[in-house]
């Protein structure tokens, strides 16, 4: 992780906590290096990093998760983001090249989308933002298809039987995060 990402994630940590998510960093640097780095960040910015950074000196963890791209380097990690659910299942992987920083608002949006889709037995459409309509699951029977088409015609909440929408329950808007700059 680069310094700007550590600072951005530290500042965004309250948003992750509101989504019941815990941040963990992983680096192939040593623990002493991490301590010096975090201390320097604190001295220069006043920011205390509230999440652990795991020292993976030999790259064992990074290799198991496919974070080292041998085409680029045999020792440096690419900038991966893993969203792992409470059952230990990897639900999303974002891979950024070493020269492109992570987008914290996008990570929060994706985490929110996963939680909302799960809670509503639905999917999120392209460019979905928190509290926007979600996609209903496809009908399983012809009768459900007819009901869906009638509902869409009546409520104007879709395109056809295979693409209907509903407002999600338990909307989690993160204080207009997309309008706030998280550094």
**Which residues are known to be catalytic?**
2
3-state secondary structure of 178: helix
Q: Supply the DSSP string of 78-113, one letter for each residue.
A: PEEEEEE-TTS-EEEEEEE-TTS---HHHHHHHHHH
Distance between CA atoms of residues 28 and 39, nearest Å: 18
Distance between CA atoms of residues 99 and 178, nearest Å: 23
Contact call for residues 124 and 112 (beta carbons, < 8 A): no
Contact call for residues 102 and 95 (beta carbons, < 8 A): no
- Hey, which residues does 165 pair with through a beta bridge? 135
Please give the C-alpha separations between residue 165 and each of 85, 101, 117, 122, 124, in angstroms, as whole numbers: 25, 34, 12, 9, 9
Distance between CA atoms of residues 51 and 41, nearest Å: 14
């Amino acid at each position: 992780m680069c310094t700007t990402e550590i600072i951005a994630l530290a500042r965004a940590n309250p948003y992750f906590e509101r989504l019941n998510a815990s941040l963990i960093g992983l680096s192939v640097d040593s623990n002493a290096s991490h301590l010096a780095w975090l201390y320097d960040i604190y001295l220069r910015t006043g920011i205390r990093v509230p999440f652990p950074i795991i020292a993976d000196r030999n790259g064992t963890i990074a290799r198991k998760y496919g974070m080292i791209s041998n085409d680029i380097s045999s020792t440096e990690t690419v900038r991966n983001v893993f969203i792992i659910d409470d059952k230990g299942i990897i639900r999303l992987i974002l891979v950024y090249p070493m020269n492109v920083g992570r987008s914290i608002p996008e990570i929060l949006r994706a985490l929110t989308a996963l939680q909302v889709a799960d809670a509503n037995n639905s999917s999120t459409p392209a460019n979905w933002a928190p509290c926007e309509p979600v996609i209903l699951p496809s009908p399983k029977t012809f009768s459900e298809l007819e009901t869906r088409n009638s509902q869409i015609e009546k409520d104007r909440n879709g395109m056809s039987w295979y693409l209907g929408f509903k407002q999600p329950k338990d909307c989690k808007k993160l204080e207009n995060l997309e309008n706030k700059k998280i550094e």
